[in-house]
Amino acid sequence: MTCSPAMRRVFRGAELVIDDALRRGDLVVDGGRIVGVELIGGAASAAPDHGLEVVDVGGCVISPGFIDLQCNGAVGVDITSDPDGIVAVARALPRFGVTSFLPTVVTSPAANRRAAIDALVALRGASYQAGADPIGLHLEGPMISRQHLGAHAPEHVVALDAAELDQWATSDAVRLVTLAPELPGAVAAIERLSRAGIAVSGGHTAMTPTELAAAKGAGLSYATHLFNAMAPFSHRAPGPIGAVLADDAVVAGLICDGIHVDPVAVRMAWRALGPSRVSLVSDAVGALGSPFGRSRLGHLEVIHDADGVRTLDGVLAGSALALDQAVRNLMEFTGCELAEALACVTSTPADLLGLDDRGRLSVGSRADLTILDRNGELVATVIGGVTAWQR
């Protein structure tokens, strides 16, 4: 089903993900954009079908392209230590259904963050063959709790000063920042970043429900990898887990590999949050798409084997989770429908970042499509109307 980028074409005979449900219909693409959606049994918005190249996708499901909000690397590349490797990661991600992603930089020296910003800015306007779109950086740290480091380096944990916050806010390269809201100066940092249109997340944290409420008032809207690298839940001290699950608005990132979070805990979170408040993330490191062995995450050497990706001391350090596998895992762990699981990698992350040109199959949106069978197995990934990967 390889598509020619020069022709106006219709994807015919698929089930389309529309409003978190599957609707049979045709999708018309032209110039890298969706120009028509015609539903069988009821029109959405249709474009004339004369002069179209027909792409037969009968029996398939067409989803908006997957969006990964937390990707530290892939195919041997660690973005924190090698931000020029963003292009290699972008080229690898379509094989996992990903069409847009946030290259993620973990807690590290300020020079690493500056280098990542420079690398992403340099990519603006550049073209590289069939790659996922690196829409902005996710800076995970350095303002995190020393009691909940996970695999982050304690020697690089620092408060954010005004100069660096201003650099992030004016860079047009930073889209998401993870910090611990309970730390001194965190609320002011959230306010500054939010005013600049940057999403802010609570993560690597021991925040209480009261501290979450204050952070929300300043603009926080997300929780980074719920359950992981945060204070545990107790019925007398609910901490960040209880605060997020009891909230009515904060979106929670979830690493759904069955290693970071037990399937029972995934099911509990799903029942509390649902598809509009769960964002599945890979938290992938260079091990994604690579054989078992050793690689890096920032300053650390990590080992990838059947038990996941861990430091030499056995601490979980990201994952080798493919985002399409996360979708299938969520269905298995919770019993949810495919369309509901797909919302967690499409419309929900798009809404969190305020993206109106992707995340939904609607006229005017980018023709970023992830095509699957009814079991959630990948068939093809289309970026800007061009096939980037095909089974």
Residue 139 falls inside a structural domain? yes
Task: Please answer whether residues 105 and 134 qualify as being in contact, where contact means their C-beta atoms are separated by less than 8 angstroms.
Answer: no
Residue 312 falls inside a structural domain? yes
What CATH number does the domain containing 373 carry? Answer: 2.30.40.10
Contacts with 173 (C-beta within 8 Å, 6 or more apart), sequence order: 116, 117, 120, 121, 136, 137
CA pair distance 208, 199, nearest whole angstrom: 20
pLDDT at 299: 84
User: The pTM is what?
Assistant: 0.95
Mark whether 83 and 116 lie in a shared domain: yes
Mark whether 344 and 366 lie in a shared domain: no
Residue 1 falls inside a structural domain? no
pLDDT at 50: 60
Mark whether 18 and 71 lie in a shared domain: no
What CATH number does the domain containing 333 carry? Answer: 3.20.20.140
Q: Which class for 30: exposed (0-12), middle (13-18), buried (19 or more C-beta within 10 A)?
A: middle
Residue 130 falls inside a structural domain? yes
Query: CA dihedral in degrees (285, 291, 293, 299; nearest 10)?
Result: -20
Mark whether 121 and 31 lie in a shared domain: no
Backbone region of residue 70 per phi and psi (left: phi > 0; alpha: psi in -120 to 50; beta: other values): beta
Residue 2 falls inside a structural domain? no
Mark whether 227 and 84 lie in a shared domain: yes
Residue 4 falls inside a structural domain? no
If DSSP codes are grouped into helix, strand and coil, which group holds residue 190?
helix
269 C-beta neighbours (distance < 10 Å), count: 23
Residue 341 falls inside a structural domain? yes
Mark whether 290 and 157 lie in a shared domain: yes
CA atoms within 13 A on the CB side of 26: 20
Task: Please answer whether residues 34 and 46 qualify as being in contact, where contact means their C-beta atoms are separated by less than 8 angstroms.
Answer: no
Mark whether 34 and 49 lie in a shared domain: yes
Mark whether 101 and 217 lie in a shared domain: yes
Total domain count, the chain: 2
pLDDT at 46: 47
Mark whether 108 and 253 lie in a shared domain: yes
Mark whether 345 and 382 lie in a shared domain: no
Q: Catalytic residue numbers?
A: 283
CA pair distance 286, 298, nearest whole angstrom: 10
DSSP 356: S
Residue 144 falls inside a structural domain? yes
Mark whether 53 and 70 lie in a shared domain: no
* Boundaries of domain holding 298: 66-353
Mean pLDDT by 10-residue block, N- to C-terminus, for the chain (391 residues)? 65 94 95 92 53 89 98 97 96 98 97 97 73 97 97 95 96 97 98 98 98 98 98 97 97 98 98 98 97 90 94 94 98 98 98 97 97 97 95 92
- Is the preceding peptide bond at 142 cis, omega within 30 degrees of 0? yes
Mark whether 119 and 153 lie in a shared domain: yes
pLDDT at 5: 52
